[in-house]
């Protein structure tokens, strides 16, 4: 939230206007885009009102054929994509610049933000031509690292340990890469929030973070909003690590034959299945995966079991980046 500050400096521009229906339309920056939103998203960085790159509007959404009772349902067409969670609401992505949000009865903005800033945003960024990974990313000087891995592998925990060591968060959960320059893939900064489980948060203890209130009993990770330690500028990709649990911290490069399947597996759009890649989009997506696998060093990172040893993984990453090889 922006609070007015009394000073002799020029006042900051307003960051909201009034949307149809009486909601406050607020403006933010995320993933290199100016976002206007009828849903309050304090996770994002505020911005001055202007013509947005991406508009998030609250209103009725008619899910094609109806959503299954008590289930998550997707309908991903060529021009419109529908995602529905009965307990949260229905979302419709139109083209490359609009998301419509139809909240379930009684659902407030903090709960809407969970799918909106996760799978919905990931699919919207994919539709804009960006390459999106289900991962976390950290800026280390002028370099960067991406952490991929299965659920529970420690992506956010390792990112948190890197932040505690003085490095800066680029994005958590949704990593968007700009591949417009084939020789220089860039990570676009998301927003200054890291989601950590209670045991990880207790072990890492990020002093520069504010823990936001839990929005649903079934959400097992708390939102840590960073007031320091966020990288606001795009950074070229230096390393991609696939995290696995191990006896000791160790990094081993993956060969080209192993690197490509890893990138495909943790590509965010892969989670939606074949329906998310109609027509020639499947070939374009495979080309993007191959571009990342071919241009960026992909390695297996073994993270020691036990949170008390997480700094061993941090030291291994720093040594690997300092080597300058690959």
CATH, residue 242 = 3.40.50
pLDDT confidence bin for 66, thresholds 50/70/90 = low
Same domain, residue pair 238 and 299: yes
| Cα separation of the two ends of the chain | 42
Angle at 187 between CA 52 and CA 165, to 5 degrees: 120
pLDDT tens sequence across 212-243: 877 777 788 899 999 999 999 999 999 999 99
| Within-domain flag for 255 | yes
pLDDT tens sequence across 127-182: 999 999 999 999 999 999 999 999 888 999 999 999 999 999 999 999 999 999 98
pLDDT tens sequence across 279-288: 888 999 999 9
Distance CA 138, CA 140 (A): 6
> Nearest 5°: phi and psi at 320?
-60, -45
Same domain, residue pair 81 and 141: no
Kindly tell me the burial class for residue 247, based on how many C-beta atoms sit within 10 Å of its own C-beta (0-12, 13-18, 19 or more): exposed
Distance CA 326, CA 319 (A): 13
Same domain, residue pair 116 and 259: no
Same domain, residue pair 44 and 166: no
Same domain, residue pair 185 and 254: yes
Contacts of 60 (CB under 8 A, 6+ apart): 102
Same domain, residue pair 74 and 180: no
What's the pTM? 0.90
Strand 221-226, strand 209-211: pairing: antiparallel
| Within-domain flag for 147 | yes
Distance CA 41, CA 113 (A): 7
Report the number of distinct structural domains present in the chain: 2
| Within-domain flag for 9 | no
Same domain, residue pair 159 and 283: yes
Beta bridge partners of 84: 73, 90
| Within-domain flag for 5 | no
pLDDT at 21: 64
Could you list the residue range(s) of the whole structural domain that residue 82 is in?
16-127
pLDDT at 188 over 90: yes
């Amino acid at each position: 939230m922006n609070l007015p500050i009394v000073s002799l400096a020029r006042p900051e521009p307003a960051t909201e206007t009034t949307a149809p229906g009486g909601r406050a339309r607020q403006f933010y920056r995320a993933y290199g885009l100016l976002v206007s939103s009828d849903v309050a998203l304090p996770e994002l960085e505020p911005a001055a009102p202007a013509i947005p790159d991406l508009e998030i509007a609250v209103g009725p959404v008619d899910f094609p054929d109806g959503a299954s009772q008590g289930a998550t349902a997707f309908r991903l067409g060529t021009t419109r994509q529908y995602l529905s969670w009965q307990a949260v609401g229905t979302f419709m992505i139109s083209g490359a610049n609009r998301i419509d949000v139809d909240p379930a009865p009684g659902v407030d903005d903090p709960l809407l933000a969970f799918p909106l800033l996760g799978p919905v945003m990931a699919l919207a960024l994919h539709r804009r031509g960006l390459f999106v990974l289900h991962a976390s990313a950290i800026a280390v000087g002028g370099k960067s690292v991406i952490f991929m891995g299965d659920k529970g592998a420690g992506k956010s925990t390792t990112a948190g340990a890197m932040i505690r060591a003085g490095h800066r968060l680029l994005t958590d959960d949704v990593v968007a890469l700009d591949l417009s320059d084939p020789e220089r893939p860039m990570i676009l900064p998301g927003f200054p929030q890291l989601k950590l489980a209670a045991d990880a948060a207790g072990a890492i203890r990020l002093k520069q973070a504010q823990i936001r209130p839990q929005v649903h009993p079934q959400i097992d990770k708390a939102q840590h909003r960073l007031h320091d330690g966020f990288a606001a500028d795009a950074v070229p990709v230096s390393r991609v690590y696939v995290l696995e649990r191990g006896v000791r911290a160790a990094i081993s490069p993956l060969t080209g034959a192993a690197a490509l399947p890893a990138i495909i597996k943790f590509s965010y759009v892969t989670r939606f299945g074949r329906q998310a890649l109609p027509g020639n989009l499947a070939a374009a997506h495979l080309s993007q995966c191959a571009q990342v696998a071919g241009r960026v060093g992909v390695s297996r990172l073994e993270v020691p079991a036990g949170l008390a040893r997480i700094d061993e993984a941090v030291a291994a990453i720093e040594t690997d980046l300092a080597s300058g090889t690959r």
